[in-house]
Amino acid sequence: MATSSLEVDVKKINENLKLLAESIQTLETKLDAIETNTRDEIKKMVWFKKRVGSVDVYVRVSIVSVSEINTVMQQFTCEFYLSMRWEEPNLCEMVNCKDEINWSDQWEPGIYFVDLVQIEKYERNETLCEPKKAGGIPEVMFYYHVRGTFKEVLDITHFPFDYQPLTLTMTTSWTWDFVNLQKDYERDDNIRTWNFTGKNEWQLESHVLTESIFTEKEPAASDNIFPIYRIKMHAFRKYAYYIYNVALIMDFISALAFTSYTVEASNPGERIQISLTLFLTSVALKYVVNSFVPQVPYPTLLDKFIICCMAFQFLVAVENGVAAVVHIFYPKSLLMFERISFGGLLLIFLLIHIVFCSFWFKYTSKSKHLSRQYEIEYRIEKERTKDMREYMKHGKKVSTSQFNEIDQDSDDAAVTKEISSKRLNRLKKRFGHMKMKRSSGKIITSSALQYRI
């Protein structure tokens, strides 16, 4: 018995050893695979040469088309060409052999769009431009062709008389002390409006504004600060559809509430039935209007108008009930009560529409004013671009921020004075019909824009 039990134990030990050997072999196989994959990833990694100082990346955009501005989803579709250029000292020896450059091994800004929802097309081409003068540094030029859907948080407080910005927000994976995104003043930004597919609902403005800023520090976020480059377009909503199909219909429904006065006060059931039927019709119309706008925590101007009209209908229904009580207890005062209530309700009805029309005029005028203001800013930026080019013709090399802070008492005073006089003449010629203030060497067209002359 002892011998047989010993043989069983030996068999179990052998089986366990076989299982252990198989497990070890499997583990070795997995470790080999992990090591192989790690080596492949290391081979794919790019180690950039150390760069001294920050890199000025100059950005230029050409908007090809804007379509499908969706108010409910707060999205829009945009197709555009984007070019970026910067000086690359590491490729000075590759100017005469551009075809041999392996762009996957070269430094790049690593841009991405923070408001991109879905991308439909993305193409990128690279090229190396020869230095502009002998012994200079060559420039790398990246060309992007992008079509995608972008998110835009719309402010619909003044809907349907709203004026909306359409923004492409671009940033980079490098911090602000290493990469500086700037407007490319050698070429103008532009936008095509003739192929805009949303012309029935929107009027797309013919200007493109850009803004270079930085991220703000947040308590729960990283301490790193990144550059942000914003490309802004603007669109004005065509409100005629909502006036004819919502506001005007709501006017008719509200005005029909006065028909309850054609029924005698002695028959309050029919009076209240008319008022409640019209009120329920207004509720149905309000649900239809809700499908035009996103779910926001504030009422739009059209919401306020509809709610005021429904409140007016509610007052008419209350008056019908009170008139029945007056008919029972004070029959002699019924006629006077009907006249006073009718006059008061008519005054409220007219007041609602007068206020709505005043806001209509106010917000449409405001939108037109903003449109003119942005157009002036865009045109001044174009004038500014010409000045930058003219400044560079004198052999001066200056960045965007430095151009704003040129010291008039420096050696460049003669050049800047010549440019300033030409700029002022162009501005007077283009915007002479608009009011401009001359103060402290600046032309001020808005609180946000101060252009040095």
Instruction: Give mean pLDDT, residues 298-302.
Output: 94
CA distance 339 to 343: 6
Predicted local confidence at residue 267, as pLDDT: 87
| pTM over cut 0.85 | no
Instruction: Give mean pLDDT, residues 407-433.
Output: 47
Domain 56-238 matches domain 241-329 at the CATH topology level = no
Q: Which two tokens stand for residue 186?
A: 């050698």
Measured CA to CA in angstroms, residue 58 lies from 86, 93, 181, 210, 215 at distances of: 6, 23, 6, 12, 19
User: Is the separation of the CB atoms in 117 and 131 below 8 Å?
Assistant: no
Is residue 33 over pLDDT 90? no
Q: Which residues of 321-336 are buried (b: 16+ CB within 10 A; e: fewer)?
A: eebbebbeeeeeebee
| Most confident of the ranges 8-22, 340-354, 375-389 | 340-354
| Most confident of the ranges 65-69, 214-218, 226-230 | 226-230
Predicted local confidence at residue 265, as pLDDT: 84
Predicted confidence (pLDDT) per residue in 179-216, tens digit: 999 988 888 889 999 889 888 999 999 999 999 998 88
Residue with tokens 């006073």: 340
Predicted local confidence at residue 419, as pLDDT: 47
Predicted confidence (pLDDT) per residue in 70-109, tens digit: 999 999 999 999 999 998 888 888 878 878 888 888 888 8
Neighbours of 274 (CB within 10 A): 21
Predicted confidence (pLDDT) per residue in 241-291, tens digit: 999 999 999 999 999 999 999 998 888 889 999 999 999 999 999 999 998
426 CA to centre of own chain = 31
* CATH class in words for 241-329: mainly alpha
Residue with tokens 């401009």: 436
Is residue 397 over pLDDT 80? no
Domain boundaries, the chain: 56-238, 241-329, 366-452
Predicted local confidence at residue 105, as pLDDT: 81
Q: Which residues of 76-105 are buried (b: 16+ CB within 10 A; e: fewer)?
A: bbbbbebbbbbbbeebeebeeeeeebeeee
Domain topology for 56-238: Acetylcholine Binding Protein; Chain: A, (2.70.170)
